[in-house]
A and B are shown apart, each in its own frame.
Chain A
C-alpha cells in the first residue's frame, strides 16, 4: 500500500492529487503519519513510532490508523 504516483504531500499535511485536482488537509498527527508513510514505513512500524512518541493506547491507534488509511483509499489516493 502506497500513494499513487504523482500524489504530492507537504510537511504540513496537505495532500494534492494532480490527476483529479482534489486536495486535502490533515491534522498534525496525520502529517506525521503521512511523513512515515512516504518513507515506506509499514503499518506496524508507524504504530510503534507513534506509540513511542505519544501517550496512546495501541488498540485505539490501530483503529484510528486503519480509519485514516481507509479515508486515503476512499479518496482514491492509494495504490493497493
Chain B
C-alpha cells in the first residue's frame, strides 16, 4: 500500500508542500513542514511549491530541500497539472499538502489525476469543501444545528441597506476569501464593500456581529466522520491583520465536541481550522471554517497531537487511532527573523522557477 522508498528501514517520503509565505499574515506551509520533520516515524524530502520568489520558506534550506514555482490558481487546472507532472518526474512525489484556500479547489479537482500518477493527497471532497464556504456557512449551520451568525450575501452595494435593517450594527463586512471589517454606519459598510469587492471580487458577505472570546480550533478528520485530533487555542496577541502572534492551548470539552460534530456531519478529510466566537453566556458560534491547517499548526505538535505528521500517515494508508490527550497551557509566540540569502538564489527561483 505504501509507495514510499525504504532507506535503512525507515520510510522515506517525498512530500510537496505549499504555503511557504511565512510573512506577517503567514501561510501554514513552514509550520506544516516543521511538524512533519519532527516526526521520527519517517524520513522526508520536502519539496516546496511556491507562487512568489520572496516566500521565505523557499530559502529555509534546513526545512525545504528544493522548491519549484507553480502557476497561480487563476491559470487553470491544466497548467497546474502539467507543472506538477514535471515536478513529479524529477522528484517522485509521494504526497502533496496544499495549504492555501484559493488553491484547494484546484487540488481537489485534480486529486484523481494526481493519484493516478502516484501522488497522494488527503483533502476533503468537493462537496465538503463547498459546504463550509463562508457564503453558505449559515445554511450549513441551520442544516446541522450548529450555531453560525446570521448573514446576507451582498452582490450590489444597494443590498447593504436591507442587510443593515435585518442584521443591525455593528455589522461585519467580509471578503469572499479573506479580510473583514466591522462597521457601524451605512457609509462605513459601503466603503468596506467597495474595498472588498476590489480586492476579492463579489460577492461580499454581511454578517451579524457576535461579541465574545475568539477561539481557534485545529481539527483533523479521517474522511469517515471520525475526528483524529482536536486542539483548541486562544489567541493571546492579535496583529492588525487579525492573525495570532501568540496563543495558548486551552481545555474546554465544548470546543472539542463542536469540532467533532463538524467533522462528523461533514465527514471531513484532512485538516481544518474552526474560528469560534464564544459569547459571555457560553454560546459558541462558528464564524468561519478554513479548509486547511492554520498557520499556528505547529502548536498541535508541541501540545502532543502532531496533526501534519498524522495527516501524512493517514494519506499513506496507515491506520491512526484518535488522540485522547494534549497539553493544556502550551503556548506559541511568533517572531520575525531576517533570513539572509544571496541574490544568486533569488535569481535562480525567479529565473529558473526552482531552487
Contact = CB atoms under 8 A, between A and B. Distances in A.
B252 interface: yes
A6 B251 CA distance: 9
Contacts of A20: 213, 234, 250, 252
Nearest to B254: A19
A6 B233 CA distance: 17
Nearest to A6: B251
B106 to A, nearest CB: 36
Contacts of B233: 21
Nearest to A23: B248
A16 B247 CA distance: 14
A18 B329 contact: yes
B110 interface: no
A21 B217 CA distance: 13
A61 B351 CA distance: 73
Interface residues of A, number: 7
B102 interface: no
Given A21-B234, A21-B236, A16 B329 contact: yes
A18 B331 CA distance: 12
Interface string B192-236: 000000000000000000000100000000000000000001101
Contacts of B248: 21
A76 B250 CA distance: 15
Contact of A18 (B213, B247, B328): B328
A8 B327 CA distance: 14
Interface in A3-17: 6, 8, 16
A25 B93 CA distance: 51
A74 to B, nearest CB: 12
Nearest to A16: B329
A63 B251 CA distance: 34
Nearest to B248: A21
A18 B248 CA distance: 9
Contacts of B329: 8, 16, 18
Contacts of A6: 251
A21 B238 CA distance: 14
A55 to B, nearest CB: 38
| Best-surrounded residue of A6, A18, A21 (most CB of chain B within 10 A) | A21
Contacts of A19: 250-252
A8 B328 CA distance: 11
Interface in B47-62: none
A3 B329 CA distance: 18
Contacts of B213: 20
A6 B252 CA distance: 11
Interface string A15-43: 01011110000000000000000000000
B232 to A, nearest CB: 9
Contacts of B251: 6, 18-19
Interface string B300-322: 00000000000000000000000
A5 to B, nearest CB: 10
Contacts of B249: 21
A21 B328 CA distance: 9
Interface in B121-180: none
Nearest to B235: A21
Contacts of B252: 19-20
Interface of B: 213, 233-234, 236, 247-252, 328-329
Interface of A: 6, 8, 16, 18-21
* In the complex, the 3 A-B pairs of residues with the closest C-beta atoms, listed nearest first: A21-B234, A18-B251, A21-B248
18 contacts: A6-B251, A8-B329, A16-B329, A18-B251, A18-B329, A19-B250, A19-B251, A19-B252, A20-B213, A20-B234, A20-B250, A20-B252, A21-B234, A21-B236, A21-B247, A21-B248, A21-B249, A21-B250
